[in-house]
Structure 1
Amino acid sequence: MQSAASSRVRTDGPAPALLRAALDAADEAVLLCGTVDDEILLVNAAAARLVPGLTPGGACPLDGLTGALATGADSFTDEYAGRHLAGRRRALDAGHYGWYLRDRTEEVNRAAALQAERARTSFLAEAGRRLSTSLHQGRCLRTTAEMAVAHLADAAVVVLPADRRRNTWLRLAEGGRIEEGTVPESRLADVPGLVEVLGGFPPIPSRWLDAAQAPEWLGLGPIGALLVTPLPGNAAPAGALILARRDRAFTPDDEILARSFAARAGAALSAAGLYREQADTAAILQADLLPPELIQLDGVELVGSYQAAHEAARIGGDFYDVFAPNQPGGDTVLALGDVCGTGPEAAVLTGKVRQTLRALHLVDADPTAMLRVLNQALLQSGRPHRFVTLVVGALRRAEHGRVRLTLATGGHPPPLVLRNDGQVEEVPVSGTLIGAVRETVVHPAEVELAPGELCLLYSDGLTEARGGPTATDQYGEARLRAALSTCQGLPATATVERLRQLVSDWMHGGARDDIAMLAVRAPGRTALSLRDGGAPNESPFALTTRRVRQRS
């Protein structure tokens, strides 16, 4: 072979038949070149099939090979007629070398497909992660549009199902900002395929949609390709995703990816919509269970305070309420109670108890009768272990600015009275749990408040609050009475706030039960005055606050 090749270089004649036959029989594409001027001397049959334009002595159609010859490289890669080629140089003898060519198209395509699949998987994983981190519908809409523009299209519009005959939409174009609006349900037909998608039908292939028909309200500008795909929800579409491209068409793989993304976005939007409906329903139901705004009586201070056991909850098992007189000169009814349990279930029972008390007040039932009727109502409800401790009072004005209270309790801590001399008295009332036994025993009592004196109704969450040095000691009745005695002469608002702060400090932010307080203070001049050290121009609120701090 070496002699024949050397003769070919010397005489510039054709390659020997034996050498050509041997190279043509090889499966690998081979170019035989001379080392003198890098001229291609022979192209075997496999190389001719791989690169039809490659001939001995002719111009080389492979830019990669030309570059390798110019630089002296031993390998190159190139694309020719849609094929990916790789070449490797191998020395044969002193005057000849060969280029061995390999078709790596399938290898490149497999690598590209793998990379594309990894990119799709990464995109869908990121979409799932971002969309699942929030139950806020607005955030889900924004995330859907942002990810669609970043990975799928030049512009995206998300359209939600109709609400009151109008559809909410959110639009984002590449390099633009999020825009929102609504469109009448009658205008949906302007977008090809949108009505069908929102109606739950399968998506229409992009090639069947005329992008030129896209209406102006979409705000997408000139587009070359349009894709409308549903956002699947829980038994009903959660909306539709409209994708637009300016210059590129959507391939079948693009449409499959868009549907996979839409499935995740639809699930997130459906969950967010369901959460919003539940939150709206809970807010409506909760409105009637929240502590009421107390009525304002002539000179009598009524101040309530409520803290739920859990910070996130606004309602619980403790409650207070005040019912205005049915007629002029009638009694004002006060109620403060603690139903069994905490949280939403206790709050529902609280609502029933309050409504029952309100109905009993409308028929002018006295406190004792209210407790007995409520006891029967709870026993007949068919739900076992639904009981409540309760204190009910009838308030009326007496002579000389005094206030008279008729109080009755059912298993509840007796109210405390703060006298003008700083003494704290317990109202002598008692009674059995409401809703626990058939025969309710109630021992009511009447108490009279002189001008400036205060009566405190409270739930046992106040005295049973655990904290202190060991974090397990109960606040207890003794500390409550001592704290209340320091509130002599303070307005009802300041008294309640002071007790609330003292108990909070005692717990050091630890776990607690629901706590409710209701203070009634007879009209009268506050004990705070300039003799307490107030400045001549100091406001009553500032003077009250300063004195509370001094007593702490």
Structure 2
Amino acid sequence: MTGTRRAVRPAPDLLAALLEGSGEGIVVCDADGVVTLANAAAVRLVPGVEPGLPAPAPLDSVPPAPEGRIVTHGGRALRIRTEAVGDCRLAWYLTDLNAAPRTEFLLEAGRRLSASLNPRRCARAATELAADFLCDAAIVLLPATARRRIEWVRAVSGRYGPEEGTLPAVTAAEVPGLTDALAGLRHGAAGQQDPGGAPDWLLPEGFGPAGHLLVLPLPGNGVPAGAIVLARRAGRSPFGDDDQRMARDLAVRAGAAISAASLFREQSTINAILTGDLLPPDMPEIEGMRLAGRLRASQQAGAIGGDFYDVYLPDTAPDAGIVERPPLIILGDVCGKGARAAVLAGQVRHSLRTLLLLESRTDRLLELLNRSLLASPSPNSYVTMILAALRTAPGDHVLVDLAVAGHPPPLVLRGDGTVEEAAARGSLLGALKKITLRPVTLDLAPGEVCLLYSDGITEAFGGPTGREMFGEERLKEALATCVGMPVEALVERLEQLSTEWLGGGPGADPGGGRDDRALLAVRAGTARTETSW
């Protein structure tokens, strides 16, 4: 079938939306030179243009021409192209030639200011951007510290690298308008300033006198992020309206970046303080034995989780009435993962430290801890744990008094490579009012190892198929190959084998089988009894 295609005219409201959304100014006049249409971009570029009124300058002086004409109007460089558009109408198309560098500037500002979460690096980026695009020298001053000192960063156009330093807050107040800017006042004295009032220290040596000075606040998240000072040398043109718009755009973006970086640094500091006590301790030196531990949290972003271990050493000079006790090592696993589980693990570790002031028997400690967990307001305060009191014996032997509460029992690596499972057993903590415990004492000859581990090791899913559990037998076989190893190398090797197993094969589930993993080993004898390898 053949036929003619009928032209479809867009709806008037669609045409109006297209015109208003255009970045190019569009003005249409009738045969009498009266404006009949002007979009938002045209009104911004030529403020006097208005429907119903004659076309204002400079439109009325631009004849129709394909290439158009470049004119300066209101401090802007405009390319104006005029065309006849039926019924004796004229259309003017206006392009802001100042917009191209401004767009380039904003894109570069966004890229460089978002590249760091360090406040001083954000300040350096802001000064470098200003010196590249807006001025000859730029100085960012950060809010005063508790000691009433202000950090500053300065960049100079054409010089490599910014300068940094600090100065007293009272000295910074010598800069005109800076006090208001640092207070975040956008409509106070901040803005263009008398360059003659700039103190000598503000500009670098050899810069010469400032011809123009602009001081602006850096808006932050509720509080000012600082202030920026822009200086041009004498002889340069002053900061025009476009320059000031670009400077304010930079100040807003720099303030947001510095504020976000400061908030990140503050939160990181708080996080480090709060998690410091949740991380495993460094292994102490204990006469007659060697200790080593490894902890791998399932959520590596936090480096903490529900698995934990700790070492409690006896007081060197206990007070009267305090029960003398041997060194105690613990390894446990609380219900859950991540930060919430790590908080519960920290509470358990601190509770044990307190209970050790009153009790030294491992079974009794677990009973008291169980009562504490039952009274906890936190839901699901369930914990599995191993407590091991360490005592030296004649012949460089180590006696390990074990109490196990719902946890996989420790493994013992004998000198001939045999691996045994300790017979200690017991109930989960935090679930029942009365728990059952079956403690045992292990005798480690020199070079023999007692390994405490969490079920994140044996229940790791991976292997060739990616869906097979590592299991206790593989752990025993791996432990048997570690005869004679230094204890630090032993736990590192076992942790590495577990990690490789979790790597899985082609069918591995990236999120499956991931759990916190903990290893803690005690080896009888000193470093002299370890075999070199």
Normalising by the smaller structure, the TM-score range is 0.7 to 0.9
Contact 2:312–2:329 (8 Å) recurs in 1 = yes
Residues 372 and 87 (structure 1), Cα distance of their counterparts in 2 relative to 1, 3 Å cut? closer
Other structure's SS at 1:175 match: coil
Q: Which amino acid aligns with 1:238?
A: A
Deviations 1:391-413 (A, max 9, x none): 11111112222211111111110
Residues 414 and 207 (structure 1), Cα distance of their counterparts in 2 relative to 1, 3 Å cut? closer
Which residue of 214, 220, 224 maps to 1:227?
214
1:390 aligns with 2:385: yes
Question: How far is the alpha carbon of 1:267 from its aligned partner?
Answer: 1.0
1:237 aligns with 2:224: yes
Q: Which amino acid aligns with 2:522?
A: V
- Give the match for residue 173 of structure 2: 189
1:273 aligns with 2:262: yes
Q: Which amino acid aligns with 1:487?
A: C
Residues 419 and 117 (structure 1), Cα distance of their counterparts in 2 relative to 1, 3 Å cut? same
- Give the match for residue 332 of structure 2: 337
- Give the match for residue 283 of structure 1: 272
Distance in 2 between the 1:186 and 1:297 partners?
55
Distance in 2 between the 1:202 and 1:501 partners?
58
Q: Which amino acid aligns with 2:395?
A: H
1:326 aligns with 2:310: no
Distance in 1 between the 2:464 and 2:64 partners?
83
Distance in 2 between the 1:320 and 1:454 partners?
17
1:461 aligns with 2:456: yes
Deviations 1:27-52 (A, max 9, x none): 99xxxxxxxxxxxxxxxxxxxxxxxx
Contact 2:374–2:433 (8 Å) recurs in 1 = yes
List aligned pairs for 1:61-460, cutoff 5 A: 109=78, 111=80, 114-163=96-145, 164-176=147-159, 177-203=161-187, 209-220=193-204, 221=207, 222-246=209-233, 247-327=236-316, 330-460=325-455
Deviations 1:178-237 (A, max 9, x none): 111111111011100101111122255788621022122222432100010000001110
Distance in 1 between the 2:378 and 2:239 partners?
61
Higher Cα Rg: structure 1 or 2?
A: 1
Contact 1:387–1:434 (8 Å) recurs in 2 = yes
Distance in 1 between the 2:178 and 2:273 partners?
34
Residues 348 and 152 (structure 1), Cα distance of their counterparts in 2 relative to 1, 3 Å cut? same
Q: Which has the higher helix share?
A: 1
Contact 2:399–2:441 (8 Å) recurs in 1 = yes
Q: Which amino acid aligns with 1:398?
A: A
Which residue of 497, 505, 527 maps to 1:502?
497
Deviations 1:400-433 (A, max 9, x none): 2221111111111001111122221111112222
Q: Which amino acid aligns with 1:386?
A: S
Contact 1:326–1:362 (8 Å) recurs in 2 = no
Contact 1:204–1:228 (8 Å) recurs in 2 = no
Distance in 2 between the 1:472 and 1:277 partners?
42
Distance in 2 between the 1:462 and 1:343 partners?
17
Question: How far is the alpha carbon of 1:166 from its aligned partner?
Answer: 0.9
Q: Which amino acid aligns with 1:149?
A: A
Residues 198 and 104 (structure 1), Cα distance of their counterparts in 2 relative to 1, 3 Å cut? closer
Contact 1:84–1:108 (8 Å) recurs in 2 = no
Question: How far is the alpha carbon of 1:456 from its aligned partner?
Answer: 0.5
Distance in 1 between the 2:229 and 2:434 partners?
69
- Give the match for residue 520 of structure 1: 522
Contact 1:490–1:527 (8 Å) recurs in 2 = no
Residues 459 and 315 (structure 1), Cα distance of their counterparts in 2 relative to 1, 3 Å cut? same
CA RMSD of aligned residues (A): 3.0
Other structure's SS at 1:362 match: coil
Question: How far is the alpha carbon of 1:311 from its aligned partner?
Answer: 3.5
Q: Which amino acid aligns with 2:152?
A: W
Residues 108 and 190 (structure 1), Cα distance of their counterparts in 2 relative to 1, 3 Å cut? closer
Distance in 1 between the 2:190 and 2:375 partners?
65
Residues 442 and 399 (structure 1), Cα distance of their counterparts in 2 relative to 1, 3 Å cut? same
- Give the match for residue 49 of structure 2: none
Q: Which amino acid aligns with 1:134?
A: S
Distance in 2 between the 1:371 and 1:296 partners?
26
Distance in 1 between the 2:426 and 2:477 partners?
25
Contact 2:184–2:223 (8 Å) recurs in 1 = yes
What is the percentage of aligned positions where both structures have the same residue?
A: 48
Q: Which amino acid aligns with 1:253?
A: D
Question: How far is the alpha carbon of 1:248 from its aligned partner?
Answer: 1.8
Residues 139 and 325 (structure 1), Cα distance of their counterparts in 2 relative to 1, 3 Å cut? same
Other structure's SS at 2:167 match: strand
Contact 2:297–2:305 (8 Å) recurs in 1 = yes
Deviations 1:344-393 (A, max 9, x none): 22221121111111111222332112212222222222111122211111
- TM-score norm. by structure 1 comes to 0.74
1:470 aligns with 2:490: no
Distance in 2 between the 1:346 and 1:202 partners?
47
Distance in 2 between the 1:305 and 1:208 partners?
60
Q: Which moved more, 1:283-292 or 1:130-139?
A: 130-139
Other structure's SS at 2:171 match: helix
Report how many aligned residue pairs link the two structures: 442
Other structure's SS at 2:222 match: coil
Distance in 2 between the 1:524 and 1:215 partners?
67
Question: How far is the alpha carbon of 1:271 from its aligned partner?
Answer: 0.7
Residues 244 and 323 (structure 1), Cα distance of their counterparts in 2 relative to 1, 3 Å cut? same
Which consecutive unaligned segments of at least 5 residues does structure 1 have? 1-26, 29-80, 89-101, 529-539, 545-552
Residues 113 and 212 (structure 1), Cα distance of their counterparts in 2 relative to 1, 3 Å cut? farther
Deviations 1:466-523 (A, max 9, x none): 2211111111101111111222232222221221222222223765322111111111
